[in-house]
């Protein structure tokens, strides 16, 4: 029941394990083998180091079970090894435990348990868990609905540069949800996410410029941001383009398109 094929494992654990294997500077044969994509040997070595109590090695054993790298994918084994690392206080492992319980991967789904693990990592400053915890408060999963708590945790993640959180806290500022309504702050958060190439934030920023909410009304800039969002599939961006096109000159639209074509996303530190 807990065995997963590699395609299924990738779908289930894609939002849980990190994008890359090596995320910290740490001398370890386990990590060296992973970095070289020698997964069979890495599994043996990481498991040995993990059994000796190394939290990072335990985390990577969990990753390999989750992804089916060097060993058959097994959700229950992934959970077991992530738990070992999480109980030693490793934030990314605690975050993964939150995701596991939130989605019922190898364990029964338990939103309250997910919240508990997210909180442990969030309180250590782990941005992904801060965003996840905000989502749990916003969706009343494992906790009572609390827009103020949701905003608090979204803001913490946003301040660390998480584009998803920046877009959400921008929306909350625009709507006055969990925070005092402030269009200027909303536009600022949307801009921070937009320059990271986050399409919904680009579309939201386009709306702010179209209406003059928190920024000076500017149809060319509105069209530019809406176009950038629309190109990446944002329906909101497409709708704004249609609205703007009816009141803009061909020259203004051409200028906005030129700006969009020349635009480059900011490099995140």
SS (H, E, C) 28-85: CHHHHHHHCCCHHHHHHHHHHHHHCCCHHHHHHHHHHHHHCCCCCCEHHHHHHHHHHH
Instruction: From residue 202, give the alpha-carbon distance in Å to each of 24, 33, 191.
Output: 32, 40, 7
Other Cβ atoms less than 10 A from the Cβ of 15: the count is 12
> Are 225 and 215 a contacting pair, CB within 8 Å?
no
- What are the backbone dihedrals phi and psi of residue 228, each rounded to the nearest 5 degrees, phi first? -60, -45
Where do the structural domains in the chain lie, given as residue ranges?
A: 1-109, 118-160
Instruction: From residue 180, give the alpha-carbon distance in Å to each of 173, 183, 184.
Output: 7, 10, 11
Determine the Cα angle at 221 with ends 217 and 227, to 5°: 130
- When pLDDT is cut at 50, 70 and 90, the band that residue 28 belongs to is confident
Structure tokens, 230: 């629309």
**CATH, domain 1-109, list 3.40.190.10, 1.25.40.10, 1.10.3720.10, 1.20.1050.10:** 1.25.40.10
- Residues 6 or more apart in contact with residue 52 via CB below 8 angstroms: none
pTM for the complete prediction? 0.88
In angstroms, the CA 134 to CA 79 distance is 23
Is residue 17 pLDDT above 50, yes or no?
A: no
Average pLDDT over residues 221-230: 98
Q: By C-alpha distance, which of 223, 264, 261 is closest to 242?
A: 223
- When pLDDT is cut at 50, 70 and 90, the band that residue 267 belongs to is confident
């Amino acid at each position: 029941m807990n065995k997963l094929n590699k395609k299924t494992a990738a779908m289930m654990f894609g939002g849980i394990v990190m994008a890359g294997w090596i995320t910290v500077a740490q001398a370890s044969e386990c990590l060296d083998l992973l970095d070289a994509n020698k997964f069979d040997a890495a599994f043996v070595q990481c498991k040995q180091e993990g059994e000796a109590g190394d939290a990072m090695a335990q985390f990577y054993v969990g990753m390999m079970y989750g992804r089916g790298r060097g060993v058959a994918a097994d959700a229950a084994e992934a959970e077991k090894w992530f738990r070992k690392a999480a109980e030693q206080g490793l934030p990314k492992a605690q975050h993964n435990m939150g995701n596991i319980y939130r989605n019922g991967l190898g364990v029964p789904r338990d939103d309250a348990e997910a919240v508990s693990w997210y909180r442990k990592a969030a309180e250590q400053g782990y941005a992904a868990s801060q965003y996840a915890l905000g989502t749990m408060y916003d969706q009343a999963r494992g906790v009572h609905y609390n827009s103020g708590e949701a905003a608090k945790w979204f803001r913490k993640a946003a301040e660390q540069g998480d584009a998803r959180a920046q877009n959400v806290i921008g929306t909350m500022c625009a709507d006055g949800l969990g925070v005092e309504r402030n269009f200027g702050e909303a536009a600022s958060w949307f801009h921070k996410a937009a320059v990271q190439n986050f399409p919904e934030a680009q579309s939201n920023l386009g709306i702010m410029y179209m209406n003059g909410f928190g920024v000076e009304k500017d149809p060319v800039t509105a069209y530019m941001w809406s176009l950038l969002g629309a190109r990446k599939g944002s329906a909101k961006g497409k709708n704004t383009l249609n609205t703007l096109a009816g009141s803009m000159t061909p020259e203004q639209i051409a200028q906005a398109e030129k700006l969009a074509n020349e635009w480059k996303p900011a490099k995140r530190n």
